[in-house]
Amino acid sequence: MKKYIIKTIAIFTLLMISSCSEDTIDLEGLGAVKGRVVAVGTNEPLENVKISTNPSSSTVFTDANGEYLIENIPSGDYSLSAQREGLLAQFEAISVIADRELEIVFEMDIETAGNRPPDAAVLDSPADNSVDQPLEVTLVWTGSDPDDDTLTYTVTLRNDENSDVEIFENITDTTYTLTNLSYKVKYFWQVSSSDGINDSVNSSIFAFETMSPPNNRIVYTRSVNGNGVIYSANEQGDTEIQLTSDTKNSFRPRRNVGTGKIAFLQSVGSQTHLFTMNEDGSQMNQVTTQVSVAGFNLGEIDFSWSDNGSKLLFPNQDKLYSINVDGSGLSLVYQTANGNLISEVDKNDNNNIIVLKTNNLDGYEVEIFTINTSGTVLETVLSGVSGAAGSVNLSVDGTKLLYCQDVSGFESSDYRQLDSHLFVYNFSDSSSLDISLEKPAGTNDIDARFSPNEAAVVFVNTSNDGISQKNIQTMPIIEIADRADLIEDAFMADWE
C-alpha cells in the first residue's frame, strides 16, 4: 500500500511539472514583412503597387523607391500579393514569425505579358497570280488570334509599274476593296494582323494582274468639281474610263496611236504645261518646264503631236515652239510678225505643212494660214473676217483643213459665239464646204476633228448662250443631216 501511494505521488508530480513547462512557451506574437517591387528585366522600382495579405491583415503601397513595409502581422501562414493596374498580379506564400521581419521582393510584368500574337492572315481572294482582274478588286482573307483578341488589319499594296507603296490601315473587316487600279499592271498585296498588344504579324504575299485596257479611240474632257478631267470611250460612246484626277485641271487631250500615249494640258500653279500619259492614265510625265503653254484663252489653246510621237508643237503667246516628248530639244519655230497670239497649231508630217490660227488679245482679227518648217507663210485660209474662228485640223494627206467659224461675225468681251459652223477647206482649189447647214438654230458647232477614216467629223454642239451643256456629236461629211449624239456633257474630243 505504501508503494502504491508513493507511485501515485510521483506520477502526479510529473504531470504538474509538465503542465508548468507548457505555460512558459508562447508561440503567439506579431511579425512584419518588408521588401521591394521592381519591373521585370529592368529592375526599375515600381511605385503605388498595392501590397496586402490573405487572410487580411493590413494593406500598404510602395513608395517612389518601390519599397514597402507591413508591420504587426499576427504570426501564421499567408498569401502576400502585389497588384497595380496594367501589371500582372504577383502572389507569394509566406510564413510570418513573431518578432521577426520577413523580406520579399516582387518582379512585376505588364498585364499582357502572357498574351500570344495573332496568327498570320490567310489570303483567300483573288487567288495568287490570278490575271484579268477588274480595276476594282475586293481582297479577302481569314484572320484569327489564339487569345480571341480583337484584330485590326493593314493592307500593303505594291506594283511592278513603279516604286509606289500604298498602305491601308485600321481595317476591322477581313475584306478590303481596291479602286482606281491601272490596266495591265501586276499588283502585290500583303495583310498585317495586329491585336494591339504584340508586334504585328505579316501574311504571305499574293499577286494579281489587272485586265488589258479596252481599245478606246476617243478621248475628251469633262468638267468635274470645277476642274477639267480627261476621259476615253469607244466609238459608241460607252466603256468610259476616267484618265486624270478631278483634283487637277487637265484638258485638251490628243491621242497618238503609234506610241499608245495621250498628250494633254494641265494647270501647274499659275501656268499651263504639256504632259503625256499612257492610254489608261498611268505614267504621267510633264514635258514642258521652261516655257509654258499660253495664249488669250486656255479653252481655245491647242497643240500638235507628230505622227511618230517624238515631238510636240505648242504656242506661247506670239511664239510657236517645238519640244521632244522627253522635255529636251526646246526650240523656237515661228513668231508672228504683227504680235498677234498663236492659239492653235496642227502639223501634217507627210508634207511638213503647219497650219496656225492667230488672233488678237480679245480672240478676234483671226487668221488661219499655213507655214513650212522654216517658218515661211505658204497659204492663207481665212483672214479679214469678224468674229471667232478656229478648231484647225489637217487631213491625213494634208490636202484638206477642218475649221470652224462664227458666220454671224459677232464680237463681245466674253468671246460669245452666236452661229459657229464647221468648214472643210480644200487646198487644191481654195474652196470651203460648210458642213453645218443642218445645225439646229441657236447652237454652235465647235472643237471639230476628222474621224480616223476622214469620212466623218467629231465635234461639240452647244447652245449659243455660252453657259449650256456641251455635247460631243458625230456627223458624216457627205450626209451632213445625219448628226448624232456620241457623249453628253463633254468637250475637246479627239478621235484617232
Q: What is the pLDDT of residues 311-326, one digit of tens each?
A: 999 999 999 999 999 9
Q: What is the pLDDT of residue 213?
A: 83
Where residue 479 falls among pLDDT bands split at 50, 70, 90? confident
Q: What is the pLDDT of residue 27?
A: 43
For the domain made up of 122-210, give the CATH fold.
Immunoglobulin-like (2.60.40)
Q: Helix or strand or coil: residue 4?
A: helix
Q: What is the pLDDT of residue 17?
A: 40
Q: What is the pLDDT of residue 436?
A: 96
Give the start-to-end residue ranges of the domains of the chain.
Answer: 30-108, 122-210, 218-495
Task: Report pLDDT digits (tens) over 252-273.
Answer: 999 999 899 999 999 999 999 9
Beta-strand relationship, 130-133 and 206-210: parallel
251 close to 263: Cβ distance less than 8 angstroms:
no
Q: What is the pLDDT of residue 380?
A: 96
Q: Does the pLDDT of residue 247 top 50, yes or no? A: yes
| CATH class in words for 30-108 | mainly beta
| Average pLDDT of the residues of the chain | 91
Chain length of the chain: 496
Where residue 2 falls among pLDDT bands split at 50, 70, 90? very low
Read off φ and ψ for residue 8, nearest 5 degrees: -65, -40
Under CATH, which number does the domain 218-495 receive? 2.120.10.30
Q: What is the pLDDT of residue 392?
A: 97
Where residue 86 falls among pLDDT bands split at 50, 70, 90? confident
Where residue 24 falls among pLDDT bands split at 50, 70, 90? very low
Task: Report pLDDT digits (tens) over 151-175.
Answer: 999 999 999 988 999 999 999 999 9
Sorted by sequence, the CB contacts under 8 Å of residue 247 that are 6+ apart come out as: 227
147 close to 115: Cβ distance less than 8 angstroms:
yes
Among 16, 25, 63, 66, CA closest to 44? 66
Q: What is the pLDDT of residue 20?
A: 41
Q: What is the pLDDT of residue 9?
A: 41
**What is d(CA 446, CA 405) in angstroms, rounded to the nearest whole number?**
8
Same fold across 30-108 and 122-210: yes
Among 417, 435, 418, CA closest to 426? 435
Task: Report pLDDT digits (tens) over 282-297.
Answer: 889 999 999 999 999 9
- For 417, the grid coordinates are 459665239
- For 303, the grid coordinates are 497643240
- For 45, the grid coordinates are 522600382
Task: Report pLDDT digits (tens) over 387-400.
Answer: 999 999 999 999 99
